[in-house]
Amino acid sequence: MEGSRPPFPDGSSEFVDRRDEFAASPADRDSERRFIESRIALIASDPRLSDADKERAIAPLQAALEDSSEAPDSPA
Amino acid sequence: MPETNHPLPPLRSGIEVVDRRDDFRGAALAGVEAERRFIESKRHMLRTNPWLQPNERARATQAFADMLGPSAGLAPEGPIPGGVGYGFFYNPAFRSSFATGTSLYWEIVCPDLPGGNVTDWLYITATNRSAKGVEALIRYDGQNNFTFGVFDWARGEGDRWRVHQYAELAPYRAVESAHGADYQVVVVMNSTYQDTPGNWVNEVYLLDATTQQWAFLYSFAYPATLQDQTADGVGTWGPIVETFQDAYSGTNPMGALKTQLAARDAAGNWGPWAALTTTQSDPRVDNKGFVQQFVDANYSWTIHS
């Protein structure tokens, strides 16, 4: 995997692994649903897309939204 | 034949006039509600005209309200999520011009507080072109300090959205100058690339401004194909300010600096980083009240309202 990473724009390849420090718990499902709903609205209102383009683009997001809606929130 | 009290257009001056006013009197009024919505729509256009400065918009809106008087009964404007205050979408050819990886670097111009009339969420976000990649974004929630979010489109339901509080981000807040002004920025790189055949990985890095080191803060590996990564929908927006209210005013400058992308070819070689250009992306402005302060097409820009 190391060899697959892109070089950084400054040409360096050094980094510090802070993933443990940033290991946040997932946010609540309502936030996730709102995020996805907003993306659907973003695509639905894109003036560059045809109705067919929009339908195709929104379908997977709608499926993700339905997934999110079906699963109950885990306890805090 | 009735005569008009004004000249007809020159190219139509030879045409006769027939009085049909009686025939057309039967049309029903569109209704109070239709009229109100028509007027509110015009008010919204004035309040959010991206080609007017904020003070010009305020004058125009006030003049419009004065003209209508209090009997117009205009309601406060309600929120409309999923709008684009300002930003750039990748064009279809550029959006899919990678084979085994794509990476985005940008400096998110993000004041501590959004300022102005922000009472809901407001995002400064971008994709790296991949449909199952991550959005590493700045999120405002009303007049609170921003948080940093990672939304991973490759993860399953309930596991996609992670938020890091402002206090965690102290080392990653830097200051950059552009067009004679200093802006607070968070420097982000997010990548999506094929790790092994049939498996891809999403990664997010932030630049630690105190040490000038890249901090690797997020990764997620998952099965996918190139077709998955170039599917329609997610992956089409570059840096944008995403709105959750109908009209903004008084907000602090926000935006993107030095937006660059890199692509990895079928042989696994990363190409050079290159600034986002006008041939790769198109602007989108949804008349939410934001005004462009400057744009270096299309890789650096800031807006305010």
Question: What residues does each domain of chain A span?
Answer: 28-76
In A, minimum Cα distance to B228 occurs at A60
Interface of A with B in 27-66 (CB under 8 A): 27, 29, 31-32, 34-35, 37-48, 53, 56-58, 60-61, 64
Task: Show the low-confidence residues of chain B (pLDDT under 50).
Answer: 26-30, 78
For A9, the token pair is 């724009």
B234: nearest CB among A25, A32, A39: A39
Confidence at residue B82, expressed as pLDDT on a 0 to 100 scale: 73
**ipTM, 2 decimals?**
0.78
**pTM for the full model?**
0.78
Chain B touched by A19 (CB under 8 Å): yes
Chain B CB contacts of A5 below 8 Å: 191, 193, 203
B164: nearest CB among A24, A58, A74: A24
A15: nearest CB among B214, B233, B286: B214
CB neighbour list of residue B30: distance below 8 Å, 6 or more residues apart: B38
Q: Are strands B199-208 and A15-17 parallel, antiparallel or unpaired?
A: unpaired
Is pLDDT at A4 greater than 70 in this prediction?
Answer: yes
Phi-psi region of A61 (alpha: psi -120 to 50; beta: other; left: phi over 0): alpha
Confidence at residue B209, expressed as pLDDT on a 0 to 100 scale: 93
A43: nearest CB among B213, B233, B268: B233
Chain B CB contacts of A17 below 8 Å: 216
Q: What angle do CA B221, B227, B228 make, to 5 degrees?
A: 45
Determine the residue among B120, B121, B191, B217 to mutate to test chain A binding: the one whose Cβ has the most chain A Cβ atoms within 10 Å.
Answer: B217
In A, minimum Cα distance to B102 occurs at A6
Chain A touched by B56 (CB under 8 Å): no
Instruction: Read off the pLDDT of residues A5-48 as tens digits, 9 standing for 90 and up.
Output: 898 998 887 899 999 988 877 777 888 888 999 999 889 888 88
Question: What residues does each domain of chain B span?
Answer: 10-72, 83-304
Instruction: Read off the pLDDT of residues B68-81 as tens digits, 9 standing for 90 and up.
Output: 666 666 665 545 56
A19: nearest CB among B89, B163, B218: B218
Chain A touched by B191 (CB under 8 Å): yes
Confidence at residue B228, expressed as pLDDT on a 0 to 100 scale: 94
Chain A CB contacts of B123 below 8 Å: 38
